[in-house]
Amino acid sequence: MSSLNLDDFTDLIERPDGGVRRDAEARRERQAVPPGSLGRLDELGEWLAAAQSAVPVRAIERPRVVLFAGDHGVAGLGVSARPAGSADVLVRSVLAGASPVSVLARRHGVPVRVVDMALDCEPESLPDEVVRHRVRRGSGRIDVEDALSLEEAEAAFRAGVAVADEEADSGTDLVVLGDVSVGGTTAAAVLVAALCGTDASVVTGRGGQAIDDLAWMRKCAAVRDALRRARPVLGDQLQLLATVGGADLAAITGFLLQSAVRKTPVILDGVVSAACALVGQRVAFRAPDWWLAGQSSGEPAQAKAFDRMALEPLLSHGVTVGEGAGALLALPLVEAAAALAAELPEASSASDGLAAPEASEAE
């Protein structure tokens, strides 16, 4: 029996400040550029003002990419284009600055944090700050066994909560959230299918590196078998994560919920973060108000999860590489929305500025 009561998050999580959002909308209506003419940038600026409880909205000054990493036993079935147990190779690429997210983060001046939850490698082979939250080495093969014990799921969830607190305490004002995993999209598809009541074929995609038809059929079968194991525990979200999730997914769920408690906005990346967000919504229905869907990756489970949470992706570039790269591409859009909301002059100020040269010429 777990000592963790997820129901507490329902009381702890408040919606972004509705009064402040109305003030931001009123301010936008007074600005010289007509309301609505900036499209979703208007909506983003108002959402950010409500999340910050500030009008005018403050600039995003300390964004951070946070990646949770883990290997999944189900990858041993050949459901991924990458070899089972090789997520540590991806992590090393991120740490070396050679991965897509590293290049993009360097370009935008955003630090990247990697948190190992269940990589299938010796912990001594990675830096201490990466491995200090690790729960176990790899997660179980979810089509035939639980991903984690309930105690391990609780430990992973609490680790995610702790990381969210660390980020909030350090001044991080927006998180780009992603995963580094092998087999993670299979576990994510199972969670989405279970929570949305759909069949395996509806949610099973091709993964980060597009798999062939044979591998896709193996993946469908794995999702189907894991889904049978998931349905009996649907009423207990922590047990669901233990049964068919994994340490990285449990940690991401805890991170998302605690970020909402701490009023830290989060941009979601691919299908893994989307699936964890869907679990989080089941725990606390107000939590998705703190999250943005960064991009549409083309994964059917991601689309299903975003639709269920009424989150509309900011971008649709079909980036499937994971690692938060697609969501990081959306960060400049959010930063632009903040700048426009804060810096565009009000109509009277703009007209005053235009009137001054005319008066000078008359003189």
Active site residues: 323
Residue 41 burial class via C-beta count within 10 angstroms: exposed 0-12, middle 13-18, buried 19 and up: middle
- Which residues pair with residue 72 across a beta bridge? 139
- Secondary structure of residue 166 in the 3-state scheme: helix
Q: Which residue(s) pair with 67 in the sheet?
A: 114, 178
State the burial class of residue 109 (Cβ atoms within 10 Å of its Cβ: 0-12, 13-18, 19+). Answer: exposed
- Select from 105, 187, 108, 99 the least CA-distant residue to 140: 187
Q: Which of 313, 307, 303, 261 is nearest to 284 (CA)?
A: 261
Judge residue 162's burial from the number of C-beta atoms within 10 Å of its C-beta, 0-12 exposed, 13-18 middle, 19 or more buried.
Answer: middle
Q: Determine contact, residues 179/269, Cβ cutoff 8 Å.
A: yes
What number of other Cβ atoms are within 10 A of residue 348's Cβ?
10
Rounded CA separation 243/144 (Å): 10
Cβ pair 267, 295 in contact under 8 A? no
Q: How far apart are CA 212 and CA 259, in angstroms?
A: 37
Distances (CA, A) of 278 to 34, 252, 312: 36, 11, 14
Largest CA distance in the chain: 87
Find, among 204, 78, 180, the residue nearest to 120 by Cα: 180
On the CB side of 224, how many CA atoms lie within 13 Å of its CA? 9
Q: Is 256 within 8 Å of 276 (Cβ atoms)?
A: yes
Question: Which tokens in the block code for residue 21?
Answer: 């959002």
Spatial neighbors of 35 by CB under 8 A, at least 6 apart, are: 28, 29, 42
Q: What does the alpha-carbon distance between residue 297 and residue 242 come to, in Å, rounded to a whole number?
A: 26
